[in-house]
Structure 1
Amino acid sequence: MRTHLIKPHELDRQALARWRDLQARNDALASPYFSPEFTLAVAAVRDDVYVTLLEDDDRRIAGFFPFQRRWGAGSPAGGRLSDHHGVIAAPGTRWDWNQLLRGSGLGYWQFDHLAAYQRPPGQWAHSVSHAMDLAGGYAAWREAKVKARSETVLRVERKMRKLEREVGPLRFVANTDDLGVLQTVIRLKLDKCRRTGAIEYFEWPWTRELVARIQAIDEPGFGGRLSALYAGDTLIAAHFGMRSERVWHTWFSVYEPDWASWSPGNMLMLRMAEAAAASGHRVMDFGKGDEAYKLALGNGGLPLVEGCLTRASAATGLRAARKGTGKLLRASGMMQPLRSVVQMLGGGRVL
């Protein structure tokens, strides 16, 4: 397998078509993060984004590896904002990770949401991206949750009815172009990060630019999704995320603190799931993390691995060690088999 390093803007129409074709053929890559539009959007607001092409013996593109690079240190395209990453290739494609790093000009590559089936040789920490299986529609998902004696759905539905009686009708907008809603998402997300000590993503100018760019995209295979939930005339919860053809990925979900007792975030998630299923999405992906709503509403998941892959070189190994990124991570069992998401997305083979 040969490698060829380029900048994203060098991807021509034929290469982009090939990228989309490879993504469509691999159910494990259905997330919008694997779409070329996401990499191109990141590259438009950052100057350190690259794509390594994997080419077979006939010089045909067999895979794409998008990433960020600074002085030989690699991270996923989008950095900490990337909830899924890896090589975009058809099922069964094989590559040498050391060769890929060398061809990408990387001494090492840090990853924390790598599709588990792509894990390099060695031991890595495992996690899962929780998701709602909407392949049978929203009603089927709800029925399964009720049968499993999940109290969350029924409790949130009761609160929704009570809120309508006491405050006003609930109004949900699946995708709005209201910039005021987007600014509310940014404001409330920043407030929460400051309260909890989490990374303040929206303090980075490029993050705001990236979100604005993605919001403006609405192509058949990729688009931003800015959703809003109102009680009467009052905005009580909002969300910004992305969708591909089959997956709606949640990203930045917020609610007004004064309304917290009503569980507006869960109300919003239920309405989003209805909209996602109605528009043909088979999965609503919550991303990594064990937040209560993910565990309560999710019924499937995509296995991930995280760690740092270092090129087979003493020099780069020492450099990685100095930066504290070369530590070997202990493995734990996968929380959900990869098969669960593959079945949600259509039952195709991953490998």
Structure 2
Amino acid sequence: MRFEITRPEDLGEPELARWRALQSTGPALGNPFLSPKFTLAVGRFRPDARVAVLSDGTGVVGFLPYERHALGLGRPIGAGLTDCQGLIGPPDLEFDVRALLRACRLSVWEFDHLLADQAAFAAYHAETRVEPVMDLRAGFAPYAEEARKRSPKTLKTVRYKERKLGREAGQVTYTFDERDPAELWRLMAWKSDQYRRTGRTDRFAVPWIVALVTHLHETGVGVLSVLRAGGRPVSAHLGLRAGPVMAGWFPAYDVEFGRYSPGMVGHLRMAEAAAGAGIGWIAMGRGGREYKDWLKNAEFAIAEGRAARVSAAAGLHWIREAPVRRARSAVLAHPALYAGADRVLRTYARLRTKGRAAGVQEATAGRAAVGKGNAA
């Protein structure tokens, strides 16, 4: 096996065509996070983005997009934003992983959403889980009937809330592929508020992520869907599309309309519109959210772990990251632990918000007192 390392933008059309052909062999491998368009987009904003091109006597047999950070630490392309990672190639492709790392000048390659069926990396798995999927290949009507059978009460409740939203806020409409950039900015503002409200890191406070998301929407890889009531946006979702496969990415809603469950209404509308647009597979990403358990009717396995060469840098990375990975895996694997961690984060966010508000009030009072003293 030969390994050639290149920047994403230096790939030629023959390589990109081969990449797309390899992706077309199955819906999991066809995930938009594994598409050449996503790698090319990340490469515009991440100078450490690289692609390893794997070749044998027959030609190019695989691609591994990655990022190389300090001390030879490797991560999947767009790490921290992706719900699907791995080699674009046949699952049973065999090669020397450590030789690949050496060619990439990596001490460690860590992953947390790796396609678990990729045999070459199986020995490096620390944890395996499943990612939920909305399988729409039979059409929306059969999917909706499955959902009704799984939980008649849930589907009935969502439909009731949609009708109630229409009665109380105005006619409900849905746009599957909204091109207005103002609606994208609205989604990012909603999502930032959600991150702060729940104690999570605000991804949209990071300039390169905002630039990447904007670029993906502008180029049509990002599909922005908007649910409206009386002409007013009440929920939105930005996903990525690669042909018949979509990856869920950033859902958000206006908290003023929370009692109508606009996110759930929007997801059902999205499934119907996606099926009509030729999309048969929507990967929703891992996470302990109950709504995904209800929406899913399929799943695929993903893995978390690290491949490493023997080096001081790899040893330091293991000492630093292994305890964190074990703790995170334990929380994700147990709903009760996840719910408890979520409550802690929300409490922390409320206390932090109150502290900031108190600080602002104190500073304002101080400025006012100074102003009065100066006036006297």
Same fold (TM over 0.5): yes
Query: What is the CA deviation profile of residues 133-191 of structure 1, one whole-angstrom value per residue up to 9, with x for unaligned ones?
Result: 11111110111121233422221111111221222110100011111211111111111
Q: 1:226 aligns to what? A: 224
Report if the CA contact (8 A) 1:239-1:253 is conserved.
yes
Shift of 1:285: 1.4
| Structure 2 unpaired stretches of 5+ | 334-376
Q: 1:181 aligns to what? A: 183
**Residue identity opposite 1:236 in structure 2:** V
Query: What is the CA deviation profile of residues 185-233 of structure 1, one whole-angstrom value per residue up to 9, with x for unaligned ones?
Result: 1111111111111121111101011011111223xxxx21011110012
- The 1:106–1:327 alpha-carbon spacing in structure 2 relative to 1, beyond 3 Å, is farther
* Alignment RMSD (CA, Å): 2.0
Report if the CA contact (8 A) 2:2-2:55 is conserved.
yes
Query: What is the CA deviation profile of residues 25-52 of structure 1, one whole-angstrom value per residue up to 9, with x for unaligned ones?
Result: 2443011111100000000011010001
Q: 1:206 aligns to what? A: 208
Report if the CA contact (8 A) 1:307-1:329 is conserved.
no
Structure 1 range deviating more: 266-275 or 194-203: 194-203
Q: 2:64 aligns to what? A: 65
Paired residues for 1:70-219 under 5 Å: 70-71=69-70, 72-118=72-118, 119-218=121-220
- The 1:327–1:202 alpha-carbon spacing in structure 2 relative to 1, beyond 3 Å, is closer
**SS of equivalent residue, structure 2 residue 151:** coil
Shift of 1:328: 8.4
Query: What is the CA deviation profile of residues 243-271 of structure 1, one whole-angstrom value per residue up to 9, with x for unaligned ones?
Result: 11121211110000111000000010010
Shift of 1:316: 3.7
The answer to which structure, 1 or 2, has the higher relative contact order (CA under 8 A, 6+ apart) is: 1
**SS of equivalent residue, structure 1 residue 243:** strand
| Structure 1 unpaired stretches of 5+ | 336-351
**SS of equivalent residue, structure 1 residue 28:** coil
Normalised by the size of structure 2, how large is the TM-score?
A: 0.83
Q: 1:275 aligns to what? A: 273
Shift of 1:329: 5.6
Higher helix content, 1 or 2:
2
**SS of equivalent residue, structure 1 residue 85:** coil
CA distance in 2, matches of 1:40, 1:176: 23
CA distance in 2, matches of 1:14, 1:213: 24
**SS of equivalent residue, structure 1 residue 74:** strand
Paired residues for 1:189-338 under 5 Å: 189-218=191-220, 223-311=221-309, 313-325=310-322
Shift of 1:326: 8.6
Structure 1 range deviating more: 160-169 or 201-210: 160-169
**SS of equivalent residue, structure 2 residue 28:** helix
Shift of 1:323: 3.3
**SS of equivalent residue, structure 2 residue 223:** strand
**SS of equivalent residue, structure 2 residue 52:** strand
CA distance in 1, matches of 2:325, 2:195: 29
**Residue identity opposite 2:216 in structure 1:** I
Shift of 1:22: 1.1
- The 1:249–1:324 alpha-carbon spacing in structure 2 relative to 1, beyond 3 Å, is closer
**Residue identity opposite 2:320 in structure 1:** K
Report if the CA contact (8 A) 2:84-2:115 is conserved.
yes
Q: 1:338 aligns to what? A: none
- The 1:26–1:163 alpha-carbon spacing in structure 2 relative to 1, beyond 3 Å, is closer
**Residue identity opposite 1:36 in structure 2:** P
**SS of equivalent residue, structure 2 residue 24:** helix
**SS of equivalent residue, structure 2 residue 321:** coil
Shift of 1:327: 8.2
Q: 1:51 aligns to what? A: 51
CA distance in 2, matches of 1:216, 1:76: 23
**Residue identity opposite 1:54 in structure 2:** L
CA distance in 2, matches of 1:26, 1:96: 24
Report if the CA contact (8 A) 1:115-1:305 is conserved.
yes
CA distance in 1, matches of 2:326, 2:60: 32
Identity, % of aligned pairs? 36
CA distance in 1, matches of 2:298, 2:240: 19
CA distance in 2, matches of 1:3, 1:325: 29
CA distance in 1, matches of 2:316, 2:297: 41
Q: 1:349 aligns to what? A: none
